[in-house]
Structure 1
């Protein structure tokens, strides 16, 4: 006779209630430190999620206050930006969830999801979806597809998510939740994780095994490097005449800053930084060359041009970093790529060291004991860095405190008046490039610029996420008028939650970054200035628009201080820093930023033919510049042992 299996203990909850209860008992652990994985849920409610996740979150707040707090926001895209900034600041050990209704609420998530995945930053998205039963037929905000009724607008989230699934039946939920947590805690390939929730399924009741709601800890593993790869990398470094290390965002994600500093101190190898990697070394460290590439320093780019071995640590080698593959100019240049992400580790035909950044740098340090670069080269590097610092000082300088300010001077004053642990936040326009070149970073988390997607509108929402993750730090958001007009409404959320931000709002009446670029590609200032339409010409070349962004910020609940000169801006910023409330410092600047040139190139194709002389000249310049562009396809050749120093066995 077959034995009857013992009854499994269950708990009857709706699908939405089960999701909320499950999220409240998920934890992460790295290096022995355990913390709650999902710390809160942002949400905007509509008919697609109010009766499901809305009810579940409300019920959870009544029964278990503080476990999974709900937070309001004003825009679906911006709540993803806030969650992404939070995860980045928490070094991907903690994150947030976001819920929206079906339809436009869900599609508004797409930009934020793409930003998260491009930057490999985890965020959990829980959009409502169409009825699984289809009993109600075509419902409000539903896309009807002739290709099949199982398609909804949420499917546009598939290509921008690292994990996507839809809960058509309650029984599917446990496997989907576990798959989602796995993706959120994957150090190599994380990003936006989407669980689409049909609105009827959210409200269905089901008997869940109680084990689903047991506390679960997700270990964030540090993948060690393969011994063979470390030996080959160490041999290549010992054989190199002019090695250079490029620090990317992976240095911060893995908390590898101390290991990198010790490596640079011991070996003398100079360090350049990507946008995401800026702050890996303090700006005044003897080995620090600053920013690399199209928005880089002349010091870093000069050393890169001569480097015969480039060691990339946690970088995906974007076109800005490589100056569209022109910055590494030595004929025999080779690459060693340390990255948890396998495709990135294999870029530029480099030696792939697939590993956690901190663990790989520590292993490489052990393998290079006794090695250091030529002292004369170190002296040259320090001289180049000092020359650039003098260039920055000149760009920061204010000759006349009563004269109108330029953007570089605004950046300089903010840099001077903020403390070492304060955080500057930016994302799009001309300021990210200026900050990358010139910001003197003193703390590893003091620089937060989103440049993987360079998404206009990220700044204020992102600043909110940084402050939520590090409430004891001052957070200074730097944003231009173009980006502010895209997405400024999370000022309301900051005021509502009592989360203090300092927002430096630069008004230059147009798109300064693309305006400057347009001058070099044969479309001078077209569509980049905020002007009335000229009745005589029919073009947007009339007077300046009378837009008062300071008044707009005040209407959203922020305190506002106006400044137009250094004499006014310095005291206003100090007042904002001292305040306990979100404060906007509004300053008028010209379109010319005053930023020094990186002397590097960026590949933006120019029209191949035109009757306009500006475009024809730009095309000739473009054809000349791209002659320096390279394809790095030569296979990496491991250097042979060169003498008794080549014992590279890691300790």
Structure 2
């Protein structure tokens, strides 16, 4: 087996560069770039490697560790979890500044690869600058705080450990159900240690995001419950966007005559002028959606975590016969609040569920009410945010002007 002697940091960056993904039939880097704030915990090794590979992995200087990680998370969301950003920091407060960002990524099921510097694996120079010593457990450092807010965590204490750790981290970040932040905590001395890495470790690898197919028994049970409903709504979340199921959602709503609401993360899953789109639901929602939710007897939640800002801490649903069907790739989310679960990818599941529903449609009077509620809300918004002769327009007027001039797909 052919090998290449590299420092751990150079091998790490070279591996990340070799990871690719197809987006719109075009091969692109899986890791679009890296943010870095450099201190003694990462500048001499990771920083050096990033400088040498700048043309293949663009590096950007951050001004605050939390901010650069949050920016990377926002990029991943905009790219529908198909491309990932990297953020690296020094040890100490530089690392712990990224803990909050990791929590945001975990909460919103978004990928980010964090590479915080860590203490020396040898412990010889302890305590290094900004090291938080644990008097009772010398193996623990401040970077252990990432464990509570990560989907994957590993501390690299030998250079060869990245051979198994990096592929695991990549798979977690690309998994529909497990997607979230991955943290590879890099011991300072190990970053610079050389190892004979197998050359195949650096071969180009093209990734695909595996779609989870639903179980037929779960589909049938859900279809039976939906057919018995008289006043159903759909609550569409970010999972619809990540699955690229906008077309399937619109067709499903039209075929089965079901009004569609969205979570905050699901905004954009339907054009604002779609005849079945009623608006966001919950604490940050609109009057039309929240009015319907009071009387709905069934909510079909698609790709969302059913947080309290969506459900209004469950004050939104007042019908005593209310039932919940949840479609989600993640087992953890799909079983919340005693929902009837369908574990599966949103795009595939909507198509399969529609086949089982056949020609069934929700009653026309329920849809008519949804349209009236939306019209009523739109008239209220227009009244409060429409054109004005006021010398200084209100915040609502400014937002209204932006909204009226926006493209339906914005």
TM-score range, shorter chain: over 0.9
Q: 1:412 aligns with which of 388, 400, 405?
A: 400
Q: 1:236 aligns with which of 212, 225, 241?
A: 225
SS of equivalent residue, structure 1 residue 331: coil
1:330 equivalenced with 2:319 (yes/no): yes
The one-character-per-residue Cα deviations of 1:406-451 (angstroms, maximum 9, x if unpaired) are 221221122234x42xxxxxxxxxxxxxxxxxxxxx22xx3xxxxx
Q: 1:255 aligns with which of 244, 266, 283?
A: 244
CA contact (8 A) 1:30 1:219 kept: no
Q: 1:323 to 1:301 in 2, by over 3 A?
A: same
CA contact (8 A) 1:107 1:154 kept: yes
- Give the Cα–Cα distance (whole angstroms) in 1 for the partners of residues 194 and 265 of structure 2: 44
Provide the residue aligned with 2:272 in structure 1. Answer: 283
Provide the residue aligned with 1:303 in structure 2. Answer: 292
Q: 1:139 aligns with which of 128, 141, 164?
A: 128
Provide the residue aligned with 2:261 in structure 1. Answer: 272
- Give the Cα–Cα distance (whole angstroms) in 1 for the partners of residues 210 and 51 of structure 2: 34
Provide the residue aligned with 2:50 in structure 1. Answer: 57
Task: Note the 1:203-214 alignment, pairs <5 A.
Answer: 203-214=192-203
Measure how far apart 1:127 and its partner are. Answer: 0.7
Provide the residue aligned with 1:106 in structure 2. Answer: 95
Measure how far apart 1:323 and its partner are. Answer: 0.7
- Runs of 5+ in structure 1 lacking a partner? 1-7, 421-441, 447-651
Measure how far apart 1:31 and its partner are. Answer: 8.6
CA contact (8 A) 1:40 1:96 kept: yes
What TM-score does the superposition give when structure 2 sets the normalisation length? 0.97
The one-character-per-residue Cα deviations of 1:294-320 (angstroms, maximum 9, x if unpaired) are 222221112111111110000111101
Q: 1:11 aligns with which of 4, 7, 10?
A: 4
The size of the alignment, in residue pairs, is 410
Measure how far apart 1:32 and its partner are. Answer: 6.5
CA contact (8 A) 1:80 1:98 kept: yes
Q: 1:237 to 1:34 in 2, by over 3 A?
A: farther
Higher alpha-carbon Rg: 1
- Give the Cα–Cα distance (whole angstroms) in 2 for the partners of residues 206 and 14 of structure 1: 6
Provide the residue aligned with 2:78 in structure 1. Answer: 89
Measure how far apart 1:34 and its partner are. Answer: 4.4
- Runs of 5+ in structure 2 lacking a partner? none
Measure how far apart 1:90 and its partner are. Answer: 0.7
Provide the residue aligned with 2:36 in structure 1. Answer: 43
SS of equivalent residue, structure 2 residue 109: coil
- Give the Cα–Cα distance (whole angstroms) in 1 for the partners of residues 269 and 255 of structure 2: 16
What TM-score does the superposition give when structure 1 sets the normalisation length? 0.62
Provide the residue aligned with 2:13 in structure 1. Answer: 20
SS of equivalent residue, structure 1 residue 251: helix
Provide the residue aligned with 2:170 in structure 1. Answer: 181
- Give the Cα–Cα distance (whole angstroms) in 1 for the partners of residues 10 and 145 of structure 2: 26
